[in-house]
Structure 1
């Protein structure tokens, strides 16, 4: 991020002349000093939008169309209805704000093509970067007792979250507090995007994965993140670069994180048929998430009071525990039976997807995201993300024999329908479209397909033929490799982009020459993280509601760099042996 650009935008925002009604002209009379109506929406407004820092930036940002008293009144009446109605008509409330959202145009990053370097980096330099990334993770554990991840709000929102998606979210989300926050965040983003404040909130950056601005990062811990830290440390051990003491510490950390994933974060739920399963919750009960006191105090005010389990955290945690050779009985559950109850069948249970943010995707055969807890709560409604479905396949392949998938027709059908979901997505080219993804970047899809492909190739030939008689995995491999080689590494990257490229290239057995641009990118930026680690924090995954919330952190970057470099190192050694 260019700090001079941000500073210039801040100066323009602070010195601009006010020429039209601002966010605060619309909202202050509705939410400040009122004792009736829904108390959450007023509390959220005061905490998230009317705080002194944001008010200073946005107090002069106005919308000319709100000088029309009819439009001004329509927006204010919608907010009053959201505040006062016992059973709000969210579609009607959202319409005047949706009309304003239609005036906002945001774009995804478009990195410029760059010439490819021809010289492969030295293996010694790759080894040094692996040691730097692994040391960052090991030392952080010793310092904190866990490896943190961070969340950061980007109030300008997601480029694909348009007026249609906004109305779909308002009507499809379940918790009123979450609807409140989605409503107000999206009203605020219009004032932000159409003023100089946009340059402060959303300055341009290098590559595709968005950097995370340090002052607004919220530290936390989740089983989903620990699962990938387990994979990173396992890849470090496999390189043979660690000292005996490093390996001892890494194994102790892996054991602790495995327990956190499958014991501390375990939660019992029931399917619609009443069958009980142990799954993994998105956020364990306090104090395990390790939130700071500040965020613990305000998270309920922001509408994040209830967390429920999800299919992705469950899949990745069980996969990591399997790779760590856990013997916990939770691994013996035929989890694919549970996923079958959350699988979309066109025309039969399509309402499973209540928040269709990516309705350009054919959902048939896909697994939805959120799991009802025992109390029946699902505050986020439900959506469907393609990358999550790769994780479901990956854990199913790792436990194929244990869960008797090939021997059980219903289980085999569930897996084959997920495979066909991916076939259609990739054949349409939709996998490379950011709009197709709810929580991830297309580049993440490519890296995660690599993980899934390796697990698939590890099956015996009989199992592979039963699951994929038509060669879908080889078809997808070709499409993903073409995207990574012709698009991702052929353009300007940041470190996180490069790590994802290496993970895809390494798992999919790409030719060594395609690794070169990503390796140079990582090695040239080693040390960019300054005091916080070898590398900066970048977007790993995101939420699109209630606004764009990025999740990542410098430790996440180190973990993904470690996994990518370990695969590149293996390819380099293999090439040397052939030579």
Structure 2
């Protein structure tokens, strides 16, 4: 979005003709100043929605439906109940807002089809990009002492979050602060959708993964990111393109990131058999997440103070450490015993999924996301994401002998049921539907299935037959390849989409001729990141509640591009 478009959108928002009460007309009388009740609701309103940057853009945006005094009164009364009731009826509180969300009209991107390029770029061009991405990661590590990732808010919200899903979140989340933020962000979405500021807050983009708007990015560190960056640097070393100095820096960075995952970010939690297990938390205690002082306070004010461990961060951290050759005793814990307690069994513990935003899929056999901490806290309730379950399979394959999975019927059954969950996703085609995913894109699911499939194929034949006697992996492989070859690479892509496509194609044994669209996209857009790195920041993962929060960064894009190119390069050298 160029300067003239930004200026035009801002001018139209600042001079719009007001047609009904605005967000601030609705909320100021109730939430700007008050005594008693829940203080967080007002603090969140003033910090996130009533701040000096957003207020001018939305103050002239009214909603015609609220000219009806009865509807306006019902909406304000709902906010009063959220503010003052000790135990609000959240379904009733959210209902007036859910009704107004019907015409937000936020849709998933649908890039146009494009003509396939005649040939792939030269090998020297591919090597040049790999070296530059590797240098970017190592330079950032040397500068910051870690590899940063960023979070950014998109206030228009997620296309899969309608009024129905908002009510699911309000009734399924456990933290009152998180309910407050979901309620108010949902209300703000209604006015943003009707404002000229919408074009400023949510401009169009190229491809599927959303670019992250630079001015509103919160830098932080997490074990989940360090695990991913560990794999990226291992990939760089495997190419043989790293210099002697870069190799030494890579080894040091890998050791430090594995240590951050397994030691700094580890915490003890109760297991379902009465024992305790050491798992990996989403955000380690301060100062380890490396927030600036300003954003650390903002995070607290917005109600995101408590973070609990999650099954995905734990699986990815264990996998990266295993690949890096770690011998830390924490890796000896057979995680499948623990995950079994978080696995959904139809009719038995399906209520474990308290925020079923993707209830279009069958949860049976899947493992939920969030882990109760030692105090029993679960602020986000629980949800279930397909890609997370691929990561559990992948780490299990890498630790098949260590965890004695084939020798332990209960552990093997847990694996079989996760595979069954994944097969049903492929059979229904739901893996390609963005609504099926809580934290990721279908494109990333495809890339991570390729990663999981590669770990599966590295096992001995007998082990593969015991794990997958019905050929589910080959069936899913065909469905994912059909999607990537027939849909993803036939449309306009950005470099992040292209990197994910390459990871899937190379891991799943696609013909090298199919690499050309993604390779050309990556090489052609090299340098788009300007002073921040070879590429821009794109959406890696997201939170659909309390609003659409994207996570990614220039370093993340460099890492995915590096891994995608390294995989493609290895396959191309064999042909």
Q: TM-score range by the shorter chain?
A: over 0.9
Deviation (angstroms), 1:118 = 1.2
8 Å contact kept, 1:456–1:464: yes
Compute the TM-score of the two structures, normalised by the length of structure 1: 0.99
Cα separation, partners in 2 of 1:428 and 1:3, compared to 1, 3 Å: farther
Match of 2:491 in 1: 491
CA distance in structure 1 between the aligned counterparts of 2:6 and 2:94, rounded to whole angstroms: 31
Matches of 1:457 and 1:401, distance apart in 2: 15
Distance in 1, matches of 2:387 and 2:5, equals: 34
For residue 274 of structure 1, report the CA deviation from its aligned partner.
1.4
C-alpha contact 1:2 1:204 (8 A) present in aligned 2: no
SS of residue in 1 equivalent to 2:87? coil
User: 1:362-415, CA deviations, whole angstroms, 9 ceiling, x for partnerless residues?
Assistant: 000000000000000010000000000000000000001110101100000000
SS of 1:153's equivalent? strand
Give the structure 1 partner of residue 25 of structure 2.
Answer: 25
Pair 1:283-2:286 in alignment: no
| Equivalent pair of 1:5/1:203 in contact (CA under 8 Å) | no
Asked if 1:134 corresponds to 2:148, the answer is no
Partner of 1:451: 451
Aligned to 2:109: 109
Q: Is the 2:272–2:338 Cα contact (8 Å) retained in structure 1?
A: no
Residue by residue over 1:43-83, the C-alpha shift from the partner in whole angstroms, topping out at 9 and shown as x without a partner, is 00000000011001000011000000000001000000000
**How far is the alpha carbon of 1:143 from its aligned partner?**
0.5
Residues 397 and 456, structure 2, Cα contact 8 Å, conserved in 1: yes
Q: Distance in 1 between matches of 2:127 and 2:216?
A: 33
What is the aligned partner in structure 2 of residue 306 from structure 1?
A: 306
Cross-structure match for 1:150: 150
| Residue deviations 1:273-314 (CA, integer Å, cap 9, x gap) | 312111000000111000011101111111101000000000
- Residue 464 (structure 2) aligns with: 464
Q: How far apart are the structure 2 equivalents of 1:264 and 1:478?
A: 40
Counterpart CA distance in 1 for 2:5 and 2:337 is 52
Structure 1 Cα separation of the partners of residues 19 and 50 of structure 2: 20
Give the 5 Å matches for 1:218-229.
Answer: 218-229=218-229
Conserved? CA contact 1:6–1:203, under 8 Å: no
Superimposed CA distance per residue, residues 228-248 of structure 1 (whole angstroms, 9 cap, x where no aligned partner): 100000000000001111111
Count of residues in correspondence between the two structures: 575
Match of 1:520 in 2: 520
The Cα shift of 1:272 comes to 3.0
Q: Secondary structure at the match of 2:300?
A: coil
**Pair 1:479 & 2:515 matched:** no
Once residues 119 and 516 of structure 2 are traced to their aligned partners in structure 1, the CA distance between those partners, rounded to angstroms, is 7
Partner of 1:238: 238
CA distance in 1, matches of 2:517, 2:474: 25
RMSD: 0.7
Matched residues in 1 for 2:495 and 2:13: separation?
Answer: 31
Q: Which residue of 1 aligns with 2:183?
A: 183
- Structure 1, residues 154-195: CA drift from partner, whole Å, max 9, x if none? 000000101111000000000000000000000000000111
Moved over 6 A (4+): none
How does 1:31-430 map onto structure 2 within 5 Å? Answer: 31-430=31-430
Rounded to whole Å, the distance in 1 between the matches of 2:432 and 2:193 is 26
Which residue pairs with 2:542 in the alignment? 542
Q: 1:2, 1:314 → 2: CA distance?
A: 41
SS at match of 1:52: coil
Contact 1:154-1:549 within 8 A present in 2 as well:
yes
**Unaligned segments of structure 1, at least 5 residues:** none
| Structure 2 match to 1:439 | 439
CA distance in 1, matches of 2:295, 2:559: 25
